Structure 1
Amino acid sequence: MYADRYARPTRFIPTGLTAAVAINAALVAALIFAAPHVLPTPPADGPLDTYTVPSDPPPPPPTPQPEPHEKSARVPDEVIVAPRPDVPVIRDTIVPTVDPTFAPPTYGDRIGADPVVRVDPGPVATPLPPLVAPSIDPRYADALQPPYPAAERRANREGRVTVHALIGVDGRVKQIERVDATSDAFWKATEAQALSRWRFRPGTRGDVPVEAWRTMTLRFVLEDD
């Protein structure tokens, strides 16, 4: 038949098998020798000291160099001009003092004559009108005598009080001052009566009411019943 004519008998080639086995063996040996060898470390005696190894500082950044054809721009100096405040300057001013009453001398017609000095007397001051002292208002005359102090009455003691009273323009006593008194009891009774009950006709100067002082003397006399 035609098929058997072209078919060739199959033969076993031992050389190819040997080469394949040798190549595989070489690869396995290469893998074995290439693996790292981990040797057992004997335990150390005592605690294990550890420390940190400082790392090297990083190198400084490189300084940028200008381009060979590029010129560095020059920054102009900034000048700040502050406005000058207007501060008033105070200077001592000398004001000449002129006497209003001084008049320059006048000279006569004759050469060598003594100068005649004329002095202006100035305005003549008008004298003030006389002061009319306060007077007792007859309508309140019965209120001048203060009540008799009970302690002085029981002691059968009489007394006398002298005071200075400031009479206002309304006729009331605005202030009273002690001049003389037999005892404090007589003085206190007089002070209270004067500030509350005394009434006067105010003092005048040119028909104008003004405040004025008046001296008053009161006697405390025991009367027989």
Structure 2
Amino acid sequence: MYADRNAKGTRFNPAGLTAAIAINAAFVAALMFSVPTLIAPPHTDDPLTTYTVPPVKPPPPEKIEKPVTQVNRPTEHITTPIPTVPTNPTTDFTATTDPSPPVGPTIGADPGVTVIDPPLPPPPMTFIEPAVDARYARDFQPIYPAAERRAEREGRVSIRVLIGIDGRVKEAKRLAATSDAFWQVTLDRALSKWRFKPATRGGIPVEAWRTMSLTFVLEG
């Protein structure tokens, strides 16, 4: 390298250095005073707890006691003397019961007249008429009279019979008949073959009358 010969030497200026330092110091001081101071809050480990504050109820109204008026009444005591009844300690009492008390209501000491209802009449006796005994129903038809058959005449008989308690015919009466022949065969059959269930009155067999009608018809 070759030095610049024409270059001039630099001189040290103490006054300029002092002024520069003073300006820097003033600038630093201004910065320090302009920055706010931060104070850290005290450190705590407790968590933040929140709760609801209940509304404050108004106090109940004061009870106003009414003045009680006390009335003092005099108390009256009445003492009744108990009469002394002389008793005999050796007296024996025997209670008896009347085995036949009076019937009917009594008023006072006098029972008065006892009214007894008359006995009820017995129930009516049910009467059941005699009926044909089904076991002997085939024997009720008399034999057709031969004379009337040859004459080709038909007939009808109405007979009234008295039936005994054994169911047999005890008596017979002629009410109507076409001819004597028809009546005679009917009477004979009634007295010999007819059987009935006897009539009953209150469940007891009794004699009774019954009317029977028979018709004689030619067949073919």
TM-score by length of structure 1 reads 0.44
Answer with 1 or 2: which has the greater Rg. 2
TM-score by length of structure 2 reads 0.45
